[in-house]
Amino acid sequence: MQRTFIMVKPDGVNRGLIGEIIKRFEQKGFALLNAELMTIDRSKAEYHYMEHQEKPFFGELVDFITSGPVFAMVWEGENIIEVSRLMIGKTSPTEAMPGTIRGDFAFCKEENVIHGSDSLQSAEREIENFFGLLKRHRLEDDFPFEDRKSV
């Protein structure tokens, strides 16, 4: 069982896409472990996007992700990192296939609705950045995934 960090970006929150995105992950059979609507500061955003710090669009990316509330989530499921990346679709709208979240809703690569971790290591780092170590385990401890499936 894997865990990943999924975030509805400010454009997605603004366009009312939180429910649609949660619906798709629930329908796929994944379990929501934690979620919070939050506005992040520049240091959290810079840490989140640290692998892009040398890119020319880094400043713009940090401006955008701190421009309004994001909906940060932790999801769990089998092979969720790879599967969620397929559900999200490619970064650029000219490459994101219809049926994917970006393929259906995004129209530019600067503002593309949703973020999903691309590896186990980034998932761990991103979950800790947004939820911290303690909070990360809170919901799962209260209500394990195995129990939820039989509800």
What positions carry a catalytic annotation? Answer: 115
For residue 134, the minimal CB distance to ligand IDP (Å) is 27
For residue 144, the minimal CB distance to ligand IDP (Å) is 29
The response to whether 148 counts as a known ligand-binding position is no
The H-or-E segment that residue 33 falls in is: strand 31-38
* H-helix segments, the chain: 10-14, 18-27, 42-48, 58-65, 80-88, 101-105, 120-136, 138-142, 145-149
For residue 58, the minimal CB distance to ligand IDP (Å) is 9
* Residue placing its CB nearer to ligand IDP in the complex, 41 or 60: 60
In a 13 Å sphere around the CA of 11, the CA atoms on its Cβ side amount to 15
Pairing of strands 31-38, 2-8: unpaired
Answer whether 60's CB lies under 8 Å from 46's CB: no
Residues 92-111 binding ligand IDP (CB under 6 A) are 109-110
Using CB under 6 A as the criterion, what x/- string covers residues 111-150 for binding ligand IDP? Answer: -x--x--x--------------------------------
User: Which of 91, 97, 119, 143 is close enough to bind ligand IDP by CB under 6 A?
Assistant: 91
Question: Quick one: residue 52, left, alpha or beta (phi over 0 = left, psi -120 to 50 = alpha)?
Answer: alpha
The response to whether 79 counts as a known ligand-binding position is no
Separation between Cα atoms, residue 35 and residue 107, nearest integer Å: 26
Rule CB under 6 A: which residues touch ligand IDP? Answer: 52, 57, 60-61, 91, 109-110, 112, 115, 118
Q: Which residues are annotated as a binding site?
A: 9, 57, 85, 91, 102, 112
